[in-house]
Amino acid sequence: MDIHLKKVPESTYLSTEKTEKYRAILRYFYIQHERLKEDLVPEEILTYLKESPHFSVYPLDELKLDLTTLVKWGNLYAQQESGRVKSIEEFNNKRFRYSITPYTVEFERMLMRFEQDSETFKGSLERNQFERFAQVIRKIRQIITAPAHNAPEEAHQVWDDIVTYFKKITQNTSDYFAYLRNENATEYMQSEAFLLYKDRFTNYLREFIKALYRTVASIQSVMTDLLTTDLTQFFMLVATHEATIFRFETWDDDLFTKECLLTWENIRAWFLGDTHGNSQYENVLAQTNEAITRLTNIVQRLGERNRSGASRKDDYLHLASWFLRSADVDEAHKLSAVVFGLTHTLHIYSDYSPTDDIYVDSWDEAPMDYGRNYRDTAKRTAMKASALIDRKAQKEQYKADYLKGQKHERNIIETYLDNDIIVVEALPVVEPFIRKLFLTWIGKAMIQDSNIIKTEYGDIVEVEFDNARQITLKAHDGEMIMPAVTFKYVRNEVS
């Protein structure tokens, strides 16, 4: 049987009838282990336990039996004292010293962490961790291209930093969003006291998003440039240093290098995605935007709740003065339509959605027929179970149409390229989606110091602004006055 499928007898002490005694004994062993003291004798352990009223009646013989049980389960090591015996009693009663095992150390360390953190997620959105991660992965290329005399040691340190920062990023972000979804946090956000902290909270999330846009593009660029051969060379240096650490076990450079490559693929998939779906970075970004949207809705509801109890007397008097100044009844009717809206309006709801494209305007869609059903509470139509319809072919058609549209849009954009540069003021009359796409690129670039973005088609583009000049971008649906902008393609990710 594989080692990861076998039973773990070392965890037995956590769920037995005498768990209280076993945990107290092993917690003392763990504390002494952290203080660099390994070997303990039963008398010392008993002295510590007697300090608690729960163990006021705990004979030494029972403690020795419990220690023997823990040795049997693999929680403790037992070593017989081999010193000179001074009496027949010492000869007949073997004395042992006990030390804690690695499994138990990790169990107790985990339990202490849970006890300190309670049952509440903490976490944080540390933008500096992304910046440090970006700095450290750039060193991979430096070590490969210009290896120093201590290259294995430096490579080992860089790889250790990469894993450490990545673990902090993933754990802190996931824990923080779990904290925001916690029932207590949700309840507090819907209270009046939250209004005092909304600005700090909003700024915290906004700064995190800005840091993501500023650093993740460079991280993705470095990861894309690193080839498998480069990474293999780097991990061989890491393995070289790892092999210098003395161990009794057999060392295998190839196995270690292969394991490092698999770990790197997981880190790369977090930022760039893989065949199984989008990257977790995009998920973090979406959850941050969702938190801001939820915050905005909560603040709006709290504001409406506060305004609902306020007196509108002055507002109504001011509004009445408008009607009083109306020249005739027709003008008053027009004013009423503006202030109160149309009267006796009928609203028709439809769940018909012809397209998922957010850039399609409503007047560009074809009209549809919608049957109206009268609501009769006395007579209801019997509901009949229907078979599940297989829409796989329809989904594949939608997917093919979407990819075809994406290819068509990119082909249009490529016609505007001149030596990998798009000068907006030199463009002819463009399609409406081109104008909206350019605005999206400009919006992404404005929140980054480098003005370098990654487009929807996988291209790396640098956006140059000339705020001193105003140009006119002409589209089929109108004209837009904007600062002079130039798009420079730094590299094409997708051929």
Mean pLDDT per 10-residue interval, the chain, length 495 residues: 71 88 91 84 89 87 91 89 60 77 89 67 67 85 78 87 85 73 62 66 76 79 84 86 76 83 85 73 76 72 62 84 91 87 70 68 74 62 70 86 85 86 89 86 82 85 87 87 88 50
Selection from 17, 42, 19, 45 nearest residue 30 by Cα: 45
Structure tokens at 276: 């199984």
- Give 421's strand partners: 488
Residue 250's pLDDT is: 74
Residue 475's pLDDT is: 87
Question: Could you tell me which residues come within 8 angstroms of residue 366 by beta carbon, excluding any fewer than 6 positions away?
Answer: 354
The vertex-43 CA angle with 41 and 49, nearest 5°, equals: 110
Please report, for residues 81, 182, 376, the alpha-carbon distance to residue 280 in angstroms, rounded to integers and kept in the order given.
55, 21, 49
What is the three-class DSSP state of 427? coil
Residue 395's pLDDT is: 86
Residue with tokens 């709006």: 300
Q: What is d(CA 233, CA 438) in angstroms, rounded to the nearest whole number?
A: 41
Considering only CA atoms, give the Rg of the chain. Answer: 34
Q: Please tell me what DSSP assigns to residue 274.
A: B
Pairing mode, if any, of strands 452-454 and 96-100?
Answer: unpaired
Q: Please tell me what DSSP assigns to residue 276.
A: T
Selection from 217, 135, 209 nearest residue 462 by Cα: 217
Question: Could you tell me which residues come within 8 angstroms of residue 262 by beta carbon, excluding any fewer than 6 positions away?
Answer: none
Residue 111's pLDDT is: 85
Residue 443's pLDDT is: 84
- Where exactly are the structural domains of the chain? 3-115, 120-296, 399-492
**How many other C-beta atoms can be found within 10 angstroms of the C-beta atom of residue 463?**
20
Residue 495's pLDDT is: 37
Structure tokens at 147: 């290896």
> Taking a C-beta distance cutoff of 8 angstroms, is the pair 413, 441 a contact?
no
Query: What does the CA dihedral 258, 264, 266, 268 come to, rounded to 10 degrees?
Result: -140
Residue 133's pLDDT is: 84
Residue 95's pLDDT is: 77
What does the chain come to in residues? 495
The correct CATH number of 3-115 out of 1.25.40.10, 1.10.150.120, 1.10.10.580, 1.10.287.70 is: 1.10.10.580
Please report, for residues 127, 208, 288, the alpha-carbon distance to residue 205 in angstroms, rounded to integers and kept in the order given.
10, 5, 7
Residue 25's pLDDT is: 92
Q: What is d(CA 343, CA 322) in angstroms, rounded to the nearest whole number?
A: 20
Contacts 24+ apart (CB under 8 A), 393-401: none
Query: What does the CA dihedral 309, 311, 312, 314 come to, rounded to 10 degrees?
Result: -160
